[in-house]
A and B are shown apart, each in its own frame.
Chain A
């Protein structure tokens, strides 16, 4: 493998990984606050992509307002999902709530297919399609947007959680919901904020990805799965860990293709995420059980 090829694989991995990271961030935030694994997380990526296409092409809205509007609509869908599907099932166990999120995912997918488009769609690139040379590798300018926006969003989320009152309340609620409600933090409000944030993060992933690769109403399934693995690599603990999980997954996927050795060929690129997930479960199962006992 030449150094140019190495850089090429790395950049491709970081690009895909950045999208997984944004999905993983959403998983982590909702899990931290509510202990729910939101399997509709990938659908928000799809919504971001399809909404931005619809707003640009059917409604004729310029690029930047269309992107912002898409993210806002997806965030509203996240709020609606929490208020209409999760909150009414208040006494349900966490497992039931997780199953509800799967139902919500199928619902969102179906509505998007019916109401937005059944085609594969692609949106205009943010800054042209002429690729940039970097250390012998060729990079699509959109890939730089994806990486840049992912880094910026991660920093913003980190600052928000660390330095703002709402962010601190979210963290408090994640650490101990009972104690935090005693000091005036409403866990229901925090859960709503978590769902809105997660939906918006997914949609950001969608709007930046849509100019690079065609998306359809079914695109959320695989992206959701990869984001879940990203969050699992990070242990569902810290948002920053989920981001590194996403990047790691993206890079490993691409180097599996590069290896083309024994069972490691391009046929199994998608299986990498599942293998990584299994490894995590094997390695962590002991630790998870301990945490369970500790409560």
Chain B
């Protein structure tokens, strides 16, 4: 008898935990909605990785959408219709992303924002396209939208990976650096970036060569990169370009300090988190990365077309989730949902009209990622000139500083 009791207690605990998890999962739907009985809600789908490996990116995306839904509905919704965002966790898993995308389509959403990563986006792309539902991905892989081809329903908001790489290469060229070493994550984002980093045309264009033994890699869960750095230390490399997200680059910065390496470390926009500075400590100083303007919004001139919007996003987000919490990843979701909201305002819940609106009417449209100009050929909408598309940030005394060049 006592045994049964014990199992019952365990069972209750498990059920309670699952219930808690369920509540936190579904909190996206219509948070803070004040529905007017007459107007039917506009249903928009969202897929983000708020657990698993991409959680550091997916969580600010989810938080951003929750905040926006609350703001929009508190202000009376879209043309009087409450906004209902149905949001699911992809758990950083492509199979889950596909399941959830199908579920959203069955539930009758008029558009989907997300998923978080390039891998998940590529898996969901054909599903949304076939169903005739606009998909605005929050992942930076250029493969998602370049070329548009038959995938006329697919867009994305982040600065594309190869534009980001050209931004760093432009800087290296200006610094008269010709010999570089690479240190890339073997998983998704790092591997996709590496294919562009080692692209011969790209290297030739910026007068760069990768030194022998200079194409090093590391595993996402690796705790120490001293061996790779020791290898690079023995080469003629004048700078290291690192492509990966937390925690790899922070470990690399720390290991470089330990080894006494003084050549510059350049990183992707994947380190545009406060937690990079927290993890790397003083070793973060001097690290340069390319990013959107959000990290240095306080240093932007008042004339910048994005300044007001970026400041508002940052203030609103940090009021809700704490100082220093706003980052460019949440910004990608902010831009994606705003595009859908603008379309809904203009054309209502008509799937085809929403797609047409985003393709043709998102012009000179300032977002957190930049000023968007969508067109039938360009479903990313950001400038292809790297210097216009992205800025460089240098970490000085533990603070993000605009590196104007």
A149 lies within 8 A of chain B by Cβ? no
- Mark contacts of B204-244 with chain A using CB atoms, 8 A cut-off: 1 yes-contact digit, 0 otherwise: 00000000010011110111101110110110000000000
Q: B residues within 8 A CB of A213?
A: 223-224, 247, 251, 254
A235, chain B: closest CB distance, angstroms: 25
A155 CA / B183 CA spacing, docked (Å):
38
Question: Is A222 engaged at the interface, CB distance under 8 Å to the other chain?
Answer: yes
Please give the distance in Å from B250's CB to the nearest CB on chain A.
5
A119 with B275: CB separation less than 8 A: yes
Which of B97-105, B141-149, B256-264, B340-348 faces chain A?
A: B256-264
Cβ of A101 to closest chain B Cβ, rounded Å: 16
From B59, B219, B230, B254, A12 is in contact (CB under 8 Å) with B230
The interface residues of chain B lying within 8 Å CB-to-CB of A9 are 226-227, 230
Q: How many Å from the CB of A2 to the closest CB on chain B?
A: 7
Measured between beta carbons, the chain B residues less than 8 angstroms from A269 are 218-219, 222, 227
Residue numbers in A under 8 Å from B228 (CB-CB): 257, 266
Checking B51, B224, B251 against A15 with a beta-carbon cut-off of 8 angstroms, the contacting residue is B224
For residue B102, give the distance in angstroms from its CB to the closest CB of chain A.
26
Rounded to whole angstroms, the CA-CA distance of A15 and B226 in the bound complex is 11
> Which residues of A from 95 to 126 have beta carbons under 8 Å from B?
113, 118-122
B282 within 8 A of A: yes
Report whether A12 and B221 are in contact in the complex, using a CB–CB cutoff of 8 Å: no
Contacts of B222 in A (CB 8 A): 222, 269-270
**B56 contacts chain A at the CB level, 8 A cutoff:** yes
Give the contacts of A239-271 with B (CB-CB under 8 A).
253-255, 257-258, 260, 265-267, 269-270
Kindly provide the distance from the CB of A88 to the nearest chain B CB, expressed in whole angstroms.
6
Complex interface: chain A residues within 8 A of B283 (CB): 129
In-complex Cβ contact of A270 among B56, B221, B247, B254 (8 A): B221
Interface size on A, residues (CB 8 A): 44
Secondary structure call for the B interface: helix
Chain B interface size, as a band, is 35 or more
User: What's the least CB distance linking B77 to chain A, in Å?
Assistant: 32
A1, A122, A139: which contacts B278 (Cβ < 8 A)? Answer: A122
A222, A260, A266: which has the most chain B beta carbons within 10 Å? A266
Structural contact, B247 and A16, CB atoms closer than 8 A: no
- Per-residue A-contact encoding for B35-56, CB less than 8 Å = 1, 0 else: 0000000000000000101011
Contact of B227 among A119, A131, A138, A253 (CB under 8 A): A253
Q: Which residues of the other chain, A, contact B219 by a CB distance below 8 angstroms?
A: 222, 269-270
- Least CB distance from A206 to B in Å reads 11
Q: Are A119 and B251 in contact (CB under 8 A)?
A: no
Residues of A within 8 A of B226 (CB): 8-9, 12, 254
* Distance of A278 from chain B, by nearest CB (Å): 18
What residues of A have a CB within 8 angstroms of the CB of B231 in the complex?
257-258, 260, 266
Distance in Å from the Cβ of A192 to the closest Cβ of chain B? 17
**Closest residue of A by beta carbon distance from B183:** A266
Query: Across the interface, do A8 and B279 meet the contact criterion of CB distance under 8 Å?
Result: no
Q: 18 other contacts beyond A254-B227, A270-B222, with CB at 8 A cut-off?
A: A8-B226, A8-B230, A9-B230, A12-B230, A13-B227, A16-B223, A120-B56, A129-B283, A131-B259, A131-B260, A138-B258, A138-B259, A213-B223, A213-B251, A219-B221, A260-B231, A266-B227, A267-B217
What 7 A-B pairs have minimum CB-CB distances, sorted nearest first?
A257-B227, A214-B247, A270-B219, A12-B226, A222-B221, A214-B279, A254-B227
